Amino acid sequence: MSANAAEVAAGVLLLFFLPGYAWTKAVFPEWRIRGAVATLRLLEVVTLSLVCSVALTVLVGYALLTASPTGFQAYWSNPQLEVGLALVAAFGLGVGLFRGAYAREPPAPMAPEPADEGTTWDVMLELEDLRRQERRLRHQLRTAAAGSPEAARLNSELERVRADVDALASRREGEYAG
């Protein structure tokens, strides 16, 4: 039994594009392919659709393989995979419709969470910078002449940096404990 060109085209679209496109629109309903970034957005949507479709095809195939007691045989006359992928694409289409992906005006993009002062990442970067300064000062202190005014200045600056490191670490520990 051979497949005609329409069946092959429908199968390729179902395997490599439609489920991923439906879920891409469901996850990113605000994406539109127009304006100054239309080419870039088109490339993003097509690429994400292809990758997601392949991943969804693998997942649906695995689900069919493990759910069936006799295993899954992918024959042209066995439409289980196509039906599974069509259901996944239809569900993604429904989620996209619910989220406004296909409306004339796109929904507003989700606002990023406001970053509070002194997030963990910022504190880590500040601590890393202070420790880098501490290493630099220790190196300069080793190369400076003992008892010179330069050595005294480096020593006082090193103590200030160490105090800053200790204060920052204890403040952060207090925030976690409290």
In this structure, are 84 and 128 located in the same domain?
Answer: no
Count of structural domains within the chain: 2
Which one, of 99, 109, 106, 100, lies nearest residue 32 by Cα? 106
Global pTM?
Answer: 0.59
Structure tokens at 166: 């200790």
Model confidence over 34-44: pLDDT tens digits? 888 889 999 99
In this structure, are 147 and 94 located in the same domain?
Answer: no
In this structure, are 91 and 128 located in the same domain?
Answer: no
Model confidence over 143-167: pLDDT tens digits? 888 888 888 888 899 999 999 988 8
In this structure, are 77 and 126 located in the same domain?
Answer: no
Taking the mean position of all CA atoms in its chain, how far away is CA 164?
Answer: 34
Task: Report the 3 state secondary structure along the chain.
Answer: CCCCHHHHHHHHHHHHCHHHHHHHHHHCCCCCCCCCCHHHHHHHHHHHHHHHHHHHHHHHHHHHHHHCCCCCCCCCCCCHHHHHHHHHHHHHHHHHHHHCCCCCCCCCCCCCCCCCCCCHHHHHHHHHHHHHHHHHHHHHHHHCCCCCHHHHHHHHHHHHHHHHHHHHHHHHHHHHHC
Answer yes or no: is 111 within a domain: no
pLDDT at 76: 61
Give φ, ψ of 35 to 5 degrees: 85, -160
Answer yes or no: is 49 within a domain: yes
In this structure, are 124 and 94 located in the same domain?
Answer: no
Lowest mean pLDDT among 103-112, 115-124, 166-175: 115-124
User: Rounded mean pLDDT of 121-133?
Assistant: 85
Range of the structural domain that residue 154 is part of: 120-177
Note whether 86 and 80 are within 8 A (CB): no
